[in-house]
């Protein structure tokens, strides 16, 4: 069975990510296939809407398949990962700017690469099981696939909070933070999908939507805006360390699991992207870090600790209390002739 099922169904082009055993993690081949079908369906007058779904009960897409990136990087081949990111980022940009309405059904886990696939669209649907997060700092990366732009657009300082703590958002939180648009009970999805395929009418989405309830993130809004407002990551760490209390202690515990270099660069990245508000420019900024991540950052060690050996004891290059700004800025320097090129090869 193919890892990606792509077919026309009435007035819809339908993508189903079909790796349920791997939480529908996105492979390089799947990225290229999606891009190819997307181009065909955008040019097809019979296709009025495009749908994204994930097979199985546990996930829409829990991220990118990074095992191949790890194996090639350990062998000293950094070009494979750089090409993967280039082509994936090009797909992210195309999805965000597609002339046709695209709808994502974000059940279960939607993380990392799944956010890039499903959260830049005009119609993003969540349900009772939805759990959305950007956990890249935990493997030595920054929130990428355009995630920095979503974080930069989040209310107040929630972008900084979500990007560094990797906190998961349920359906109400995802809508509040700008990662989703509508809550629709999952039992109603088949009927909605049938309507979309029959009619191509996206107004059916709003008609099917229900209240998501209060967002739990609102309960910590004051603390997030107070402690995550620093200009640099070090400011945030100092704010939390010198305050105490349950919220600060919980945040420090979450931050201690991730790469200090990646978190420092994440704060810098979000601040830069917030003033740009453009997905292509955001992807270009992210690529500066991911281009260097295996060779100069914590990416290899993060994958080893969290995915390969699973000892969850990474040996990061820096401590959280180090002066991290010079190293983070170096990871985000322009790449010159190696800058992100979204032209199809």
Determine whether 163 is an active site residue: no
| 64 classed as catalytic | yes
pLDDT value for 66 = 87
In this structure, CATH architecture of domain 1-338? Alpha-Beta Complex (3.90)
Per-residue pLDDT of the chain (345 residues; tens, 9 = 90+): 799 999 999 999 999 999 999 999 999 999 999 999 999 999 999 999 999 999 999 999 999 888 889 999 999 999 999 999 999 999 999 999 999 999 999 999 999 999 999 999 999 999 999 999 999 999 999 999 999 999 999 999 999 999 999 999 999 999 999 999 999 999 999 999 999 999 999 999 999 999 999 999 999 999 999 999 999 999 999 999 998 899 999 999 999 999 999 999 999 999 999 988 899 999 999 999 999 999 999 999 999 999 999 999 999 999 999 999 999 999 999 999 999 999 986
The tally of CA atoms less than 13 A away on the side-chain side of residue 41 is 28
Alpha carbon distance 49, 192 (integer Å) = 13
Please give the structure tokens belonging to residue 211: 């209240």
CB atoms within 10 A of CB 274: 17
Catalytic residue among 3, 48, 88, 136: 136
Give the pLDDT score at 67: 87
Give the Å distances, CA to CA, from 271 to 22, 157, 183, 235.
Answer: 33, 10, 29, 14
- Catalytic site residue from 13, 54, 63, 64: 64
Domain boundaries of the chain, sorted by first residue: 1-338
Per-residue three-class SS string for 139-189: HCCCCCCCHHHHHHHCCCCHHHHHHHHCCCECHHHHHHHCCCCEECCHHHH
Which residue in 48, 144, 160, 268 is the catalytic one? 144
- Coil, helix or strand at residue 311: coil
Overall pTM surpassing 0.95 (yes/no): yes
Please list the residues that pair with 104 across neighbouring strands.
52, 124
Question: Could you tell me if 164 and 134 are in contact, meaning their C-beta atoms sit under 8 angstroms apart?
Answer: no
Indicate if 144 belongs to the active site. yes
In terms of Cβ atoms closer than 10 Å to its own Cβ (0-12, 13-18, 19+), residue 114 is: buried
Give the DSSP H or E segment for 110: strand 109-111
So what's the pLDDT on residue 345? 67
Q: Could you say which of 63, 81, 113, 234 is catalytic?
A: 113
113 is catalytic: yes
Six token digits for residue 79: 């070009």
């Amino acid at each position: 069975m193919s890892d990606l099922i792509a077919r026309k169904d009435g007035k819809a082009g339908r993508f189903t990510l079909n790796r349920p055993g791997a939480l529908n993690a996105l492979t390089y081949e799947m990225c290229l296939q999606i891009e190819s079908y997307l181009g065909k369906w955008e040019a097809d007058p019979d296709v009025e809407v495009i749908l994204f779904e994930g097979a199985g009960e546990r996930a829409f897409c829990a991220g990118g398949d990074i095992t191949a990136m790890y194996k090639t990087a350990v062998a000293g081949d950094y070009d494979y990962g750089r090409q993967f990111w280039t082509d994936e980022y090009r797909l992210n940009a195309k999805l965000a700017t597609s002339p046709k309405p695209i709808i994502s059904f974000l059940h279960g886990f939607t993380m990392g690469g799944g956010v890039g696939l499903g959260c830049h669209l005009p119609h993003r649907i969540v349900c009772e099981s939805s759990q959305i997060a950007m956990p890249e700092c935990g493997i030595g990366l920054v929130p990428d696939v355009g995630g920095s732009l979503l974080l930069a657009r989040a209310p107040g300082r929630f972008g900084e909070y979500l990007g560094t703590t990797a906190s998961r958002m349920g359906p109400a939180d995802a809508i509040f933070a700008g990662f989703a648009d509508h809550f629709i009970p999952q039992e109603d999805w088949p009927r909605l999908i049938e309507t979309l395929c029959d009619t191509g009418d996206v107004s059916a989405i709003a008609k099917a939507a229900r209240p998501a309830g209060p967002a739990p993130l609102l309960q910590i809004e004051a603390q997030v805006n107070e402690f995550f407002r620093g200009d640099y990551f070090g400011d945030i760490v100092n704010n939390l360390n010198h305050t105490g209390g349950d919220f600060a202690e919980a945040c420090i515990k979450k931050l201690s699991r991730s790469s200090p270099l990646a978190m420092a660069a994440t704060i810098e990245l979000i601040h830069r992207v917030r003033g740009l508000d453009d997905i292509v420019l955001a992807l270009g900024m992210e690529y500066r870090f991911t281009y260097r991540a295996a060779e100069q950052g914590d990416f290899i060690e993060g994958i080893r600790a969290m995915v390969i050996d699973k000892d969850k004891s990474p040996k990061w290059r820096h401590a959280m209390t180090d002066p991290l700004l010079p190293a983070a800025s170096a990871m985000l320097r322009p790449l010159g002739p190696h800058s992100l090129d979204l032209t199809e090869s």
